[in-house]
Structure 1
Amino acid sequence: MHEKANRLINEKSPYLLQHAYNPVDWYPWGEEAFAKAKAEDKPIFL
């Protein structure tokens, strides 16, 4: 298991929390994710 938590560590959903230690830089649904995608001209995958 990856030892450092990602941004999902503060979520309430059990599904999201189970991925809080994945070695992926996940963003929860919200303005931070949209702003980063826009700034980097990248799509958001659902």
Structure 2
Amino acid sequence: MERRVTLRDIAWRTGYHYSTISPVLNDDLTLPVATREKTHRTAAS
């Protein structure tokens, strides 16, 4: 059984702070487009 991916896992892979990841995944449009795209790509992989 694989372990679940956490916000900290995504943060580590993207280089962003973990507190940035949650707003991105909740579609916070105040964050830069590049940040949102990179985070979504990483979360999907």
Q: Do these two structures clear the TM 0.5 threshold for a shared fold by scoring above it? A: no
Into which bin does the TM-score normalised by the smaller protein fall?
Answer: under 0.3
TM-score, normalising length: structure 2: 0.27
> Quick check: which has more Rg, 1 or 2?
1
TM-score, normalising length: structure 1: 0.27
